[in-house]
């Protein structure tokens, strides 16, 4: 593929699996040096580091085990990325967690954790990475929000609040950097095919007494008119475009990739 990110350095949070790993792999294939971050089984992290490292030309990709719910850990992660890679040209805030519960039963600790991981970590990472981008007069910030950053669903109060906050944060940062060669955008995916998402299908089928195919189209993807998953690679390609040579005028956008969800 065309190496449109040759010489760039990227930090991608939540990149040991799922969407984050897909973005990290594509960035590496496009020529960037990438630092990974996230939790998981040691063997899965090692596999992710090897895959991204191979895409970069060999060796293991650098990795930070920072708990991004901790502001100090986020600052250390950005500093470590700058020291290891030489700089952070591209910041992708992808890590996220979820909990589903009626609002009156929603555990307060879950609310605090979801806001910390899904929203506040974005702020702390941007605050830490932006001075270097300004000093070098170039940067790309990509925040992975959600369709739930633009519309709501019941029982997901913390997630919806956090992702709406991510979209607002994106717009505010974009205005602050609008007269520089730095951009800040959000990607708002619908239901993406990841192992965690696919694991929801069988329990839904059993709950409703239907086939797994019906559970997918009629329940899990109920709001997604395409009735198909958004693929990780599709989100990654949008994230690559936002960092490529033709995207400088795209700033402050909340870009839907949701099979028509927001059009309904």
Q: Where are the domains of the chain?
A: 9-192+231-257, 193-229
Is 159 a known active-site residue?
yes
Residue 195 has pLDDT above 90, yes or no: no
pLDDT for the residue 257: 98
pLDDT for the residue 166: 98
Which of 27, 63, 155, 159 is an active site residue?
A: 159
pLDDT for the residue 155: 94
pLDDT for the residue 132: 98
**Could you tell me the pLDDT band of residue 190, with boundaries at 50, 70 and 90?**
very high
Residue with tokens 């100090």: 72
Q: In what order do the strands lie in the sheet with 63-64?
A: 63-64, 33-37, 9-12, 90-93, 139-144, 182-189, 254-257
Residue 134 has pLDDT above 90, yes or no: yes
**Could you tell me the pLDDT band of residue 100, with boundaries at 50, 70 and 90?**
very high
* Helix (H) or strand (E) run with residue 185 in it: strand 182-189
Query: 145 — phi, psi (to 5°)?
Result: -90, -120
Rounded Cα distance, 176 and 144, in Å: 19
Rounded Cα distance, 118 and 126, in Å: 13
**Could you tell me the pLDDT band of residue 1, with boundaries at 50, 70 and 90?**
confident
- CATH code 3.40.50.720 for 9-192+231-257: yes
**Could you tell me the pLDDT band of residue 196, with boundaries at 50, 70 and 90?**
confident
pLDDT for the residue 226: 97
- Cβ(152)–Cβ(195) below 8 Å: no
Note the pTM of the prediction, 2 decimals: 0.97
Q: Report the DSSP beta bridge partners of residue 64.
A: 37
Structure tokens at 182: 């730095």
Residue 264 has pLDDT above 90, yes or no: no
Residue with tokens 């984050």: 20
* Helix (H) or strand (E) run with residue 37 in it: strand 33-37
| pLDDT, mean over the chain | 97
């Amino acid at each position: 593929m065309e190496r449109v990110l040759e010489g760039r350095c990227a930090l991608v949070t939540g990149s040991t699996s799922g969407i984050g790993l897909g973005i990290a792999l594509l960035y590496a294939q496009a020529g960037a040096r990438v630092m990974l971050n996230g939790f998981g089984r040691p063997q899965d992290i090692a596999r992710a580091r090897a895959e991204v490292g191979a895409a970069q030309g060999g060796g293991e990709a650098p990795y930070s085990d920072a708990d991004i719910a901790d502001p100090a850990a986020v600052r250390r992660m950005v500093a470590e990325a700058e020291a290891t890679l030489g700089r952070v040209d591209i910041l992708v805030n992808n890590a996220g967690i979820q909990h589903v519960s009626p609002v009156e039963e929603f555990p307060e600790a879950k609310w605090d954790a979801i806001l910390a991981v899904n929203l506040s970590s974005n702020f702390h990472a941007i605050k830490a990475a932006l001075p270097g981008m300004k000093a070098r007069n170039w940067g790309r910030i990509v925040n992975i929000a959600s369709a739930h950053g633009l519309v709501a669903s019941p029982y997901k109060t913390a997630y919806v609040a956090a992702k709406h906050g991510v979209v607002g944060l994106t717009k505010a940062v974009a205005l602050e950097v609008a007269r520089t060669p730095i951009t800040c955008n959000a990607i708002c995916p619908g239901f993406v095919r990841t192992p965690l998402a696919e694991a929801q299908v069988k329990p839904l089928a059993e709950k409703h007494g239907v086939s797994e195919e019906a559970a997918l189209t009629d329940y899990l993807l109920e709001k997604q008119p395409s009735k198909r998953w958004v693929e990780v690679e599709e989100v990654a390609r949008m994230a690559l475009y936002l960092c490529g040579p033709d995207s400088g005028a795209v700033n402050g956008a909340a870009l839907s990739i949701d099979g028509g969800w927001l059009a309904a």
